[in-house]
Structure 1
Amino acid sequence: MSSLENKLGHLKIHLNDIKSATNNFSETYTIASWDDEYTLYRVELNCSDKENLSSEKGKNIGEHPKGHDIVVIKRYTSGNQCFGEEERFTEIEMLSSVEHPNIVTLIGFCIEDSEMILVIENVSNGYLRNYLRNDNDMRILTWEKRLKICIEVANALEHLHSEMEDQKMIIHRDICSCNIGLDENWRAKIDGFGDCVFLPPYQEDEAVYIKWRGRSPYIDPEYEKTNKLKRESDVYSFGIVLLEILCGRVADDPLYMKESDKGLGPVARQSFSTGTLEDMIDPILKEETSEYNFVLKRGPKKESLHTFMKIAYQCVAETQDQRPTMKVVVKELEKALSFQLNSEVKSDYVEEKSHASIIETQVVELSNELNSMNMTDKSENFEIHNKENMLHDQADDPAEPNCCKFAMF
């Protein structure tokens, strides 16, 4: 461990600096806390001594070397039985060696006294689990936005499973909604690599036998029974996240736990097999209200929804060999997004055409009305003009009254 700590010495941050930034870990800066495992704080931290990080690690850590950066402080609970020294260094090693736009960037770490702290890039829009617990927040996540988040997480997992250098494979082992952050552009960032496992060069049937770890509703049931860990174990966990995003609830919501002690997965599988999974869809996605009355709803389109539901169901199959690879998952999710975007383009065309027809009709009606008014005005003006002419003629008539005629003779 000491060799790794020395190797990553340039990433060390002093505990006093972190305490100063968080005002001694004040709740004022807390953004999340997960099951007594760790607490997250969002603060400004002086990173001026990190000038050479990007050149040393090939990351974008040093892009803002001067002044204060907004970062997230991840403070692990002291004495945590599930997250010891080995897991701490595993996470540091993992985050310092892997670069991907959908994997959170490690800025630094602190191991002093009994403290284990990671400093990671700011995920300014928080973590996915927070949205699943709040209806008002879930309204922000449109179907299109949810699809993009899913695709980004899937891309990161595909990278870990089959696109690493030297064909290494990494199994995350803790994919869940509380380990998916969202940055200022709503880009998904995978976090929580303390339980990840490095495997030898990728092979089709690669597996390792290791005691299962993870959060109950997300754990691959075959892995839990046999301790056989495969990349398909991550696929199962990700499938649960897909279902959470579809249903708008966390996997361990009491609604699901009443039906199964494993939460959302078994409940969704049963509903899919009976053709009732659509009944579980987040009601927010079905709403037809919008900011403007003339805008058509942007909920899931039929082809998009069914493609998404099908791949989510395949991901949470009970056995590992029934599940797709992440490459297949990415392809299907991208197909679901394509169906959604194409439908919206068509809807926009129909909408614009409809608006054009309405406007055209209104223009014609207005034109007819104006023409009618003009004709009426012309008719009235004609009558008035005739009357004026008659009066004018009467005033200028050369024939004089009879009394005058008699006088002239």
Structure 2
Amino acid sequence: MSEVRYGLVGAGYFGLAIGRALLKEPSASITRIFDAENSANAALVLGAKVSASIERLCASEDVDAVVVASPNWAHAEAVLVAAQHGKHVFCEKPIALSFEDCSRMITETAQAGVLFMAGHAMNFMRGVRRAKALIAEGAIGEVVFCRAVRNNWEEPQGEVTWKKRRELSGGHLYHHIHELDFVQSIMGPAVSATMAGGNVAHLGPGYGNEDDLLLMTLEFGNNTFAALEYGSAFRWPEHYVLIEGTMGAIRIDLQDTGVEVRTPERTESSLLHRSQAEDDDRTAFYNRGAADGGVLFGNPSIEPPLWLRGMIEEELSYFHSLLRGEPAVAEFAALTDGSAAAASIATADALSLSLREGRKVLVSEITGR
């Protein structure tokens, strides 16, 4: 396509940021918007028309591709309607709140012959790409263990949004699926999963009903493992991924921003984002909002910080390039063939089942294979 015309489903904080990112591409336009609450403002900002429903947006002749940035629980419907109308789709994470829905979305977009890309933006961080390249080169030997920690403290809010309701967002596990996806992109799909935790410090008005402390163990076979820790019950915030190999280690720090590689022969430091300015902006952002990190996002009247805008621009630019016929990049293949989304949701479902039933769960119990 010489020009790609986009329909935007969901025009809140993140959807509006995606729209702005797309308009930086000279061959992209936003023609249609559907959002029950934010359409009018977004249409004005992005120069688009308002559609009365997802169906009408997807059926519009002036829409070539649909971007789904609605709340998590509504992703599946929008993707399936887009596929039915033969539209290419970019869907924000998590693409669904169950492996069953995820599988149906992947199947129906494939049958429709349309591109379906999952918005797992962490894959587009420069430092993450560098870490994966080093691992592929064998710089740290065989990866045997990953630890991912994403925790903070949250105060009660005047309004409990959908993000704090487990049945709508999936809770921390699904809403913050980036680290789970990243760990599996390095180690492969988990074989078994165990999760403990609960809501230990956020009961009562102003909190919602999501679990605020989750401790996860993943086993991948061949004596390889991962441990993940998510939640909002932690007064000492931390956000990092540590990758341990037989010949070295890599630490990706998403709070005191940067990437460090250590082997017996060398130590290497690099940026996490595209520039020092973006890294500094992320560090300052976390320092300012450490006590409420999980509720800082969501106000459509506020633009995302510099570092987050950079991530959004990178992944949407890639999606746009594919629609214009440019060649695919091998390292991103799992984002457009459904495998990354399917693996992350399957493991999340296995972890959820483990918590409910108090036992180790084989991921094959979820996938049936």
Please give the TM-score of this superposition, normalised by the length of structure 2.
0.29
Higher strand share: 2
Q: Which has the higher contact order (CA 8 A, sep 6+)?
A: 2
Q: Which has the larger radius of gyration?
A: 1
Tell me the TM-score normalised to structure 1 length: 0.27
